[in-house]
Structure 1
Amino acid sequence: MILDELVLHNVGVFRGRHQFTLTPPNPRQPIVVIGALNGGGKTTVLDSLHLALFGSLARTAGRRGSSYQAYLRRLIHHGVPDSEGAAIELAFHVYQEGERRNYRVTRSWASSGSNVRERLDVLVDGRLDRALTDRWAEQVEAFVPRGVAELFFFDGEKIETLAELDNARDMLKTAIGALLGLDLVDRLATDLAVIERNKRTKLAPPAAHKQLEEANQRVRDARTVATTAKQEAARSRTIAERAEHKLRQLEDQLRLEGSDLLDRQRTLEDEQRRLAKALQASDTRLLDLANGAAPLQLVHKQLADVLDVAERELAADEQGQVAEVLARRDEDIIGHLRARRVKKQTVDDLEAFLAQERQERLALAGIEPVIELSAEDTSRLRSLLDHDLDLLAEQVVAAIEERDSLTRQLDDVVHTLAAVPDSRAVEKLAAQREEALSTWTAARSASVQADGQVADADVRVIDAQREMERLLRSATEEVAENDDAQRIIQHSERVRDTLAKLRVEATRRNLHRIETLVIEALQRLLRKERLVTELRINPESFTLELRGRTGNVILPQQLSAGERQLLAVSLLWGLAQASGRPLPVVIDTPLGRLDGVHRSHLMSRYFPQASHQVILLSTDQEIDREAWNELNPHVGHAYRLDFDADAGHTTAEPGYFWPEPTR
């Protein structure tokens, strides 16, 4: 199924005719983004899709328990006469028996006095099909079964509700029952229970009728109380959600005003003093290095030349001293040889040779002294050049880098301190935030109390029903066992027991595939991909059990708020895949309180792959500029809903809040 077009005429905040093209231009761009600020008409778009398809059976956020006619009357744009009315058109196409069939569902209504007249027309391939129109409530189930519709059309509130895992059980039971066709089993069991009750009532003797009627009235009263309690709980939740939304807005505004910096001011001032002291110590170290031998690194080459000259001077001095020693030795040798009357020619030759050698040594020693360093000073200069200066250079570089780092840190702290607002500038916002926190706390408490009253009312309904059943059984015990009505009751009880076992067993046999699809979806979305490795759904209670890589049970409170929301998305995604139905996915305000990484995972791993067609209804805060740049390659159409507060209506324009990045 592909949604091709949605047309709104005088619906909600939309005045006049507004047309949205929804058909994806190609498989690589399945996403349609409709952006609006809060109150701009996003929820009206989602409700309109539900309403066009299901009419009075649609589960819309705007109806809130009111009658269908009252809901339709409220949907007519307040700026037009009720007699002009409103209309929704939804065009889609499906492939049936290998051929494309184009459908257009037009639902229009107008108010006259206390009545609202609704008209429904269903066109197939451009022609009005009156027979299909008359049985549309049954036929739409072939396209979008109401039992699975909430797996494909949902809002951020539903995700946040499912993120509280205790609330997921009812949704899982309903969705899995619809997927497996067990909703028929439930309806059959309910119908059998009604038959049993009617039969038991007929079997009861006349004397018990009054008692039964009183018990039945108690059941009706208990149900009325339960309904009222549920309505009050829904109202309390709405108040709490609005209070929480206002609290978030004020907290965001306080952050923008720099209240967090104001809270950190003393810490920042302490850090400034610490860094200033460390910087002073670093400067002292650099001065100490500069007062020592470190500056000699600047004349390293010249010092090397000095060392070379000094070493040559030392060598020349050594040669001169050696020549003097050799002269005395040679004189002694020649004198000794002459005293021994050695042949004169031999002594003369030896004397000439020794003289020549002394002359060569004296030539080497003939360097004029310039440096005149001692051997000890020359050795110190050699050590300085070979080792000490390199070590000092490393110490200087490290000290300079440390000083640069301290300087940058100090500059950052100084700049941050400069941004700290005057406490008086945020006092009003802080007071509003405290008031909003108090309001939210009270609303949350009232909501919890209302939920408790709902639970108590449900218990009273169950108790009243049990008392009714007990009275019915007691009243019919006197009836003979072979009575037809008694046999019907007994058979019905056995059938209901069998149906209950069938439901559990059918659920058990199909859960593995559903669990696998959900855990695969969750691991694709989670930042910590191996955080949850196993997911189990109890086939009777529909509670969830999560396990980690070591087999340890993961409690819901061990998951962050963002991780629980991703788990809720994974449940919807896995169940949608398990349905095997190629339906579009429509999500209103999809990102909730997810952090940056989890948002990115939804952008890259879920939205482009959730279905062959995905319609996102978002604010500019949810899909911001960065998220838009990431999502844009997958977007086929984009619209922006602009609400004009002065005119009191919304207009739809092509394009999102941000310009398209270069692809």
Structure 2
Amino acid sequence: MILKSLYLQDFGVFQGSFDENYVDLEPRTKYNKKRPIILFGGLNGAGKTTTLTAVRLALYGKQSLGRAVSVQAYHDFLLDSIHKPKGSVLKPNTAGVKLDFNFGRQGEVIDYTVKRVWTVRGNSVFESVEIYQNGEYLQNLTDQQKQSFLNELIPIGVADLFFFDGEKIAELADDSDNTALADAINRLLGLDIIDRLKADLGVYLRDQKRDQLPSDIKKEIETLEAEYQSLYAAYQAKLSDIDTLKIETTELEATKERLTQNINELGGAWASNKQEAEAKEQALRAKRNELQNQIRNLIADAAPLAFAKTQLEALLKQLSAEQQTKRQLVVQVELRKQLNKVQRSLLKSLGKEHQKAIEASITASMADSSASNNAADTEIIHDISDSEFNRLNHLITKVVPEQQARVKTLSTELESVEEELANVGLNLSRAPDERRISNFVTELAGLERTLGQRQVEVKLKTEEAKSTLRDAMDNLRKLRDKEKEFSSVSNLNQAVTLADRTRGLLEGFAVKTREQRIQQLEQEFIKSFAKLARKDDLMITAKIDPDTFNVSLVDGKGNIIDKKKLSAGEKQIYAIAMLEALGRTSGRNLPIIIDTPLGRLDSRHRENLVKNYFPTASHQVLILSTDTEVDEDFYKDLSPEISHAFEVAYDPEAGSSGYYEGYFWRH
């Protein structure tokens, strides 16, 4: 299958006709090589995801929104999808999507066009679907038959493996009860068709066997079946009631949203938080006063001395030198005393005839001592005591820097408080007079009460429906037991015998097929995960239980890994690897559309995905990305595989978006 062209008419943020919003999706050949990647770049909100939405909508209609979506919810979606022009009085009442693609069937490539257009008339939405095969309109098909035709071409369960976005990846990554994976595998393997065939054969067998039962037993069985049909019809009716309540709940929620928006436009969002804002303002004012007092106390103490840093350093240097000089003078005085004692002792011992020699020697020693300590270099100006010097030294080297840092911290905190006060004051000024919004608030309160009642009713009806379904199943079990009790006495003809054997054969076939395909899926997962994971990731393999579809991740040492403990990026890599493995196991040759795939990945996982997944994922790969996902470096890595690129750009003046060939920085 190749997606060839997509056309949009007043769809979402795209304004204008099909011809004005046309995008070429077919891979192009460059340098004798068909390149698979078509890259769409757009900022958030520009409308790039609309491409994926439009493709799915064109092919699957209501089913593109999910299985349990009501007609009313689908019509609401279509209504909301019609472009709303900026500043225009006349708004379009019609929108549509059109998709050209080709598909290989039985060795023949067939061109298809599906065109889906919807129009609003009053409060109703009218949708029309047209399908063209090789340019010829497929006539005599109802809308339901047209959708069945498209579903047969590309079943939506299989397409989910190829057209997926971040939500699909997250669903599979966080699939704790294996529901999403089991559904994908069943649809992938066609087991749902086998189950339907088994059910049809079961109906045939029951009808054939029942005709051969005694009349009284047959009547009893017919009574049980009538009771079952009645109970099941009651169950279906309750489901219908639930759907009606859900639709009403949806409408109430929409009304609530509109009413909330009206209140917000009148400043209600600010009014609802007014008391909280006033309390916060009072607390901030108290904190501001406390911070200001602390700063004042520091300024009244030693903190201002920090402005005279150079002078303080010079003073401390002078005081240190003076203290050193004073200590040296004390030493000299003490030394002189000791030398005088020595002189007297030498004179006494040697006699006065040696007096001159002794005095000369002592005088020379004193001169040497004075020359070595430079005692006369520093003039004593301040002459402070040692305790005074220690106090000043502590003040200058410790107290002043600490108080300076504290003033800086408190000032930063004060600036933050002042900014918060300004913001709170602005919010309080936005709060309206409560009398302006009181009627809206009263209406909103009543609406919320009604909404709460409907939600309770939905819960009660759901419980009633479950109870009715249990009664129906009990009745059906009695019916089957009764049929089984008398089935052995029936004389079965050859057709019944063959049908019975075929049913048993189908069960065995389903088991064998499931086991073989799951083994293939496990091997494909190992290949996919190995090329997407980082080198320092665990070597992970997967074991899938064929009965429960429980996935056990096993590391290289054989230890079971809890999926819940994987990081967000590892879960995403696991999910993408599983989606690729499912796609390859399906044997389908379909394009891949992937929306914003790199958001939760680190740089190494992103690099592996860009280099090892995108270029080989399929023969046609549509990547919808922001400029921070496929950036200039990744674009360069992908460029040998890029066929062409489009930028989805939003024009705020026009209030609409458009497709422009190129990619952010490349035009």
TM range (shorter): 0.5 to 0.7
Describe the shift of the 1:441–1:233 C-alpha distance in structure 2 as closer, same or farther (beyond 3 A): same
Matched, 1:284 2:297: yes
Describe the shift of the 1:308–1:465 C-alpha distance in structure 2 as closer, same or farther (beyond 3 A): closer
Matching residue within 455, 459, 475 for 2:466: 455
> Aligned runs of 1:590-601 on 2, under 5 Å?
none
Matching residue within 376, 390, 401 for 2:397: 390
Amino acid at match of 1:200: K
**Partner residue in 1 for 2:192:** 183
**Partner residue in 2 for 1:409:** 416
Matched, 1:381 2:389: yes
Describe the shift of the 1:455–1:488 C-alpha distance in structure 2 as closer, same or farther (beyond 3 A): farther
> Aligned runs of 1:49-64 on 2, under 5 Å?
49-50=59-60, 59=63, 61=65
- For 1:207 and 1:511, the matched residues in 2 are separated by 48
> Aligned runs of 1:485-564 on 2, under 5 Å?
485=493, 489=496, 492-493=499-500, 495-497=502-504, 499-500=506-507, 502-504=509-511, 506-508=513-515, 510-511=517-518, 514=521, 539-540=546-547
Describe the shift of the 1:47–1:642 C-alpha distance in structure 2 as closer, same or farther (beyond 3 A): farther
Structure 2 residue matching 1:121: 3-state secondary structure: strand
**Partner residue in 2 for 1:418:** 425
- For 1:571 and 1:407, the matched residues in 2 are separated by 54
Structure 1 residue matching 2:510: 3-state secondary structure: helix
Deviations, residues 413-463 of structure 1 (Å, cap 9, x unaligned): 323422433554686676676556545544443444454455345445544
- For 2:403 and 2:70, the matched residues in 1 are separated by 77
Is this contact kept in 1: 2:208–2:496, CA < 8 A?
yes
Structure 2 residue matching 1:200: 3-state secondary structure: helix
Aligned length: 604
Describe the shift of the 1:300–1:330 C-alpha distance in structure 2 as closer, same or farther (beyond 3 A): same
CA-CA distance at 1:196 after TM superposition? 0.4
Is this contact kept in 2: 1:148–1:175, CA < 8 A?
yes
Describe the shift of the 1:518–1:256 C-alpha distance in structure 2 as closer, same or farther (beyond 3 A): farther
Matched, 1:121 2:124: no
Is this contact kept in 1: 2:253–2:451, CA < 8 A?
yes
Matched, 1:637 2:646: yes
- For 1:368 and 1:484, the matched residues in 2 are separated by 131
> Aligned runs of 1:363-382 on 2, under 5 Å?
371=380, 377=385, 380-381=388-389
**Partner residue in 1 for 2:658:** 653
Structure 1 residue matching 2:100: 3-state secondary structure: strand
- For 1:291 and 1:420, the matched residues in 2 are separated by 38
Deviations, residues 76-122 of structure 1 (Å, cap 9, x unaligned): x9x9xx9x99994522467998xxx86431357999xxx99987432
Matching residue within 301, 305, 314 for 2:318: 305
**Partner residue in 2 for 1:21:** 24
**Partner residue in 2 for 1:445:** 456
**Partner residue in 2 for 1:47:** 57
- For 1:278 and 1:543, the matched residues in 2 are separated by 60
Structure 1 residue matching 2:300: 3-state secondary structure: helix
Amino acid at match of 1:288: D
Deviations, residues 379-435 of structure 1 (Å, cap 9, x unaligned): 7537855x6632224423432333234223322432342243355468667667655
Deviations, residues 582-633 of structure 1 (Å, cap 9, x unaligned): 4234589x99xx9x9699999999899685556689xxxxx99988989996
> Aligned runs of 1:337-356 on 2, under 5 Å?
349-350=357-358
When the two structures are superposed, what TM-score results if normalisation uses the length of structure 1? 0.64
Describe the shift of the 1:269–1:632 C-alpha distance in structure 2 as closer, same or farther (beyond 3 A): farther
Is this contact kept in 2: 1:307–1:378, CA < 8 A?
no
Is this contact kept in 2: 1:88–1:106, CA < 8 A?
yes
Deviations, residues 60-87 of structure 1 (Å, cap 9, x unaligned): 55996779xx99x99xx9x9xx9x9999
Deviations, residues 548-605 of structure 1 (Å, cap 9, x unaligned): 99969789xx9999999999988766644543534234589x99xx9x9699999999
Is this contact kept in 1: 2:525–2:577, CA < 8 A?
yes
Describe the shift of the 1:335–1:30 C-alpha distance in structure 2 as closer, same or farther (beyond 3 A): closer
Describe the shift of the 1:303–1:475 C-alpha distance in structure 2 as closer, same or farther (beyond 3 A): closer
- For 2:651 and 2:376, the matched residues in 1 are separated by 97
Structure 2 residue matching 1:581: 3-state secondary structure: coil
Structure 2 residue matching 1:288: 3-state secondary structure: coil
Describe the shift of the 1:179–1:203 C-alpha distance in structure 2 as closer, same or farther (beyond 3 A): same
Describe the shift of the 1:237–1:542 C-alpha distance in structure 2 as closer, same or farther (beyond 3 A): farther
Is this contact kept in 1: 2:627–2:664, CA < 8 A?
no
Deviations, residues 507-553 of structure 1 (Å, cap 9, x unaligned): 35544665788899999999xx999x998765445578899999697
Describe the shift of the 1:141–1:359 C-alpha distance in structure 2 as closer, same or farther (beyond 3 A): closer
Amino acid at match of 1:192: L
Matched, 1:273 2:289: no
Is this contact kept in 1: 2:256–2:448, CA < 8 A?
yes
Describe the shift of the 1:179–1:320 C-alpha distance in structure 2 as closer, same or farther (beyond 3 A): closer
The RMSD of aligned alpha carbons is 6.7
CA-CA distance at 1:304 after TM superposition? 1.9
Matched, 1:201 2:214: no
Flag structure 2 segments of 5+ consecutive residues without an equivalent: 29-34, 83-89, 119-125, 639-643
Comparing 261-270 with 10-19, greater Cα deviation is found at: 10-19
Structure 2 residue matching 1:409: 3-state secondary structure: helix
Comparing 247-256 with 391-400, greater Cα deviation is found at: 247-256
Amino acid at match of 1:308: A
When the two structures are superposed, what TM-score results if normalisation uses the length of structure 2? 0.63
Amino acid at match of 2:100: L
Comparing 190-199 with 212-221, greater Cα deviation is found at: 212-221
Structure 2 residue matching 1:411: 3-state secondary structure: helix
Describe the shift of the 1:321–1:579 C-alpha distance in structure 2 as closer, same or farther (beyond 3 A): same
Is this contact kept in 1: 2:188–2:586, CA < 8 A?
yes
Amino acid at match of 1:17: F
**Partner residue in 1 for 2:4:** 4
CA-CA distance at 1:197 after TM superposition? 1.7
Is this contact kept in 1: 2:306–2:400, CA < 8 A?
no
- For 2:527 and 2:9, the matched residues in 1 are separated by 42
Amino acid at match of 2:5: E
Amino acid at match of 1:22: L
Deviations, residues 352-404 of structure 1 (Å, cap 9, x unaligned): 55566678889999969963766x7257537855x663222442343233323
Is this contact kept in 2: 1:205–1:475, CA < 8 A?
no
- For 2:652 and 2:399, the matched residues in 1 are separated by 69
